[in-house]
Amino acid sequence: MPPKAKYTREEIVQIALELVAEKGIGALNARNLGAALGTSTRPVFTAFKNMNELTEEVKTAAMHRFDEYAKNDPETGVPAFKNVGLQMILFATEQPKLFQLLYMTENEQSVSFDNLLDRLGGTSQKCIDFIMRDYGLTLEEAKLLFRSVWMFTFGIGVLIASKVCRYDEEEVSVMLSQQFRSVMGLIKSGKAFKITPPGVG
């Protein structure tokens, strides 16, 4: 009979999540986690087959934490879709190591944007639904708007989480509004889905 774990899987994941949130994914190893647990490494390998399995669970827990940010109700006058973007930036500001874990960790292979949306879980679909509801766009148009603004927002998040740039909330709000209006204008003009040949303005 295997030894009884002092900690449950869920408890170990939460402690590992806090370790990563404080020190980054590079600090997540059996020795550091054992120290954080106040035990040897045995409880870790009793609950998990290996560190890779634990790391995947930590990533899932980090995404759940991000989802909690995205679920925050918008302030008065802030459109629902824009609020999700603001909350993503807030997550990058307050949880930079977890943002890095989710969005700045090298993958074994690159994926398509649609695959990336799948990893965002319900947040991406919620945003697309907001856009269709609030702005009367088709599904195709809503996906284009979401993709364009999300990539812009992601870029700001990377700059903040990596401490390359610092922006206050008002600056971020203005930048997101400008990007949104630019893409919306392109969609309304009917040119958003037209492919321009190279070298043609």
Output the tens digit of pLDDT for each of the chain's 201 residues. 455 557 899 999 999 999 999 999 999 999 999 999 998 888 899 999 999 999 999 999 999 998 888 776 655 578 888 888 999 999 999 999 999 999 888 766 666 777 766 666 677 888 899 899 999 999 999 999 999 999 999 999 999 999 999 999 999 999 999 999 999 999 999 877 765 444 444
Structure token pair of residue 128: 């697309």
In 3D space, the residue among 5, 183, 160 whose CA is nearest the CA of residue 81 turns out to be 183
Q: How far apart are CA 26 and CA 154, in angstroms?
A: 22
Q: How far apart are CA 145 and CA 134, in angstroms?
A: 13
3-state per-residue secondary structure call for the chain: CCCCCCCCHHHHHHHHHHHHHHHCHHHCCHHHHHHHHCCCCHHHHHHCCCHHHHHHHHHHHHHHHHHHHHCCCCCCCCCHHHHHHHHHHHHHHHCHHHHHHHHCCCCCCCCCHHHHHHHCCHHHHHHHHHHHHHHCCCHHHHHHHHHHHHHHHHHHHHHHHCCCCCCCHHHHHHHHHHHHHHHHHHHHHCCCCCCCCCCCC
Q: How far apart are CA 18 and CA 21, in angstroms?
A: 5
Residue 201, pLDDT score: 43
Residue 103, pLDDT score: 87
Structure token pair of residue 55: 């790391």
Question: What's the pTM value of the predicted model, to 2 decimals?
Answer: 0.82
Contact, 181 vs 187, CB < 8 A? no
In 3D space, the residue among 93, 75, 79, 76 whose CA is nearest the CA of residue 159 turns out to be 93
Residue 40 φ/ψ, nearest 5 degrees: -75, -175
Residue 199, pLDDT score: 47
